């Protein structure tokens, strides 16, 4: 948990600048000043100045009307991957699991009600763009996300589900609250999570929770395959014990 910081010690301009950068997304790859002002709550004059500052620092490009992120923005996320303890700690474990199973292994952590992949194996035996380093994915239809939801008290879990956007990504995706709560209850009971084609057609996932010494959930260790290679039952039968063994390496 983060330490409480007094408002007098905060640099408001930096907060707003970081918020401006985070406005860009798959849905909004390019923004105008009026759009950014509306989304951020800033005046158009302030949004324009933030945009121009980011252009000056080469984090944004512009054609005079639209603004978009440059590759330099990748440095912000890469700095975390290169310097943070968790990615450096789990990378060898992820590669070990992938080499033993010949499947794709990854670690995701929760950030603001989304699952973010902080480590992934180089070995990827199938084509998928959904398990990319730094990718943010929804918690309701991912194995790591459901493990986190299962770690919450039931009332808090339901509140999160009602708060987030739930869309049917495939014909198999559960989106109704009652159905999701039932599937999360099963995860809570069995101690691991599985996803079968709910996030992406053909994709099979099994994941175990990662916790600190006090038992506080901080991430998930996942193994991903494709139904053209195996079944979900076989994926669990053949590799679940390995995931648990690898998890012990991270908490020992």
Beta strands (DSSP E) in the chain are 60-62, 67-69, 104-111, 114-120, 136-138, 193-196, 203-211, 217-226
pLDDT in tens, 57-68: 999 999 999 999
Q: Which pLDDT belongs to residue 3?
A: 56
Q: Which pLDDT belongs to residue 178?
A: 97
Kindly state the average pLDDT of the residues 94-100: 93
CA–CA gap between residue 119 and residue 111 (Å, rounded): 15
81 pLDDT band, cuts 50/70/90, is low
In the predicted structure, residue 129 carries a pLDDT above the cut 70:
no
CATH 1.10.10.10 in the chain, residue ranges: 7-72
Element (H, E) at 245: helix 232-251
Kindly state the average pLDDT of the residues 130-158: 90
In the predicted structure, residue 31 carries a pLDDT above the cut 90:
yes
Kindly state the average pLDDT of the residues 163-173: 95
CATH 3.30.450.40 in the chain, residue ranges: 84-251
In the predicted structure, residue 89 carries a pLDDT above the cut 80:
no
* CATH code for residues 7-72: 1.10.10.10
In the predicted structure, residue 77 carries a pLDDT above the cut 90:
no
CA atoms within 13 A on the CB side of 206: 23
86 pLDDT band, cuts 50/70/90, is low
| Torsion of the alpha carbons at 208, 163, 6 and 215, rounded to the nearest 10 | -20
Q: Is 46 exposed, middle or buried (0-12, 13-18, 19+ CB in 10 A)?
A: middle
Lowest pLDDT segment from 36-45, 111-120, 171-180, 200-209 = 111-120
In the predicted structure, residue 82 carries a pLDDT above the cut 70:
no
In the chain, pLDDT over 90 holds for what percent of residues? Answer: 65
138 pLDDT band, cuts 50/70/90, is very high
* Candidates 3.40.50.2000, 3.30.450.40, 3.20.20.60, 3.60.15.10; CATH matching 84-251: 3.30.450.40
**Helix (H) and strand (E) counts in the chain:** 9, 8
Three-state SS string over 45-112 comes to HHHHHHHHHHHHCCCEEECCCCEEECHHHHHHHHHHHHHCHHHHHHHHHHHHHHHHHCCEEEEEEEEC
Q: What is the mean pLDDT of the chain?
A: 89
1 pLDDT band, cuts 50/70/90, is very low
Lowest pLDDT segment from 26-35, 120-129, 196-205 = 120-129
């Amino acid at each position: 948990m983060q330490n409480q910081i007094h408002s007098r010690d905060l640099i408001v301009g930096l907060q707003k600048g970081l918020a401006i950068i985070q406005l860009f997304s798959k849905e909004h790859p390019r923004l105008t000043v009026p759009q950014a002002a509306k989304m951020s709550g800033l005046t158009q004059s302030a949004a324009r100045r933030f945009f121009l500052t980011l252009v000056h620092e080469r984090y944004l490009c512009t054609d005079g009307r639209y603004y978009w992120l440059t590759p330099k923005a990748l440095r912000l996320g890469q700095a975390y991957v290169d310097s943070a303890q968790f990615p450096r700690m789990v990378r060898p474990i992820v590669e070990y699991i992938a080499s033993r199973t010949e499947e794709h292994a990854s670690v995701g952590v929760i950030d603001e009600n989304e699952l973010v992949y902080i480590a992934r194996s180089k070995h990827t035996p199938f084509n998928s763009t959904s398990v990319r380093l730094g990718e943010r994915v929804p918690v309701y239809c991912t194995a790591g996300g459901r493990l986190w939801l299962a770690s919450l008290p039931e009332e808090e879990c339901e509140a999160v589900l009602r708060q987030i956007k739930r869309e049917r990504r495939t014909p198999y995706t559960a989106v109704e609250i009652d159905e999701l709560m039932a599937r999360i209850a099963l995860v809570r009971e069995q101690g691991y999570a599985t996803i079968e084609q709910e996030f992406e057609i053909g994709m099979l996932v099994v994941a175990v929770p990662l916790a600190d010494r006090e038992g506080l959930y901080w991430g998930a260790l996942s193994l991903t395959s494709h139904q053209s290679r195996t079944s979900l039952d076989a994926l669990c039968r053949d590799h679940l014990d390995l995931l648990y063994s690898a998890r012990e390496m991270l908490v020992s």
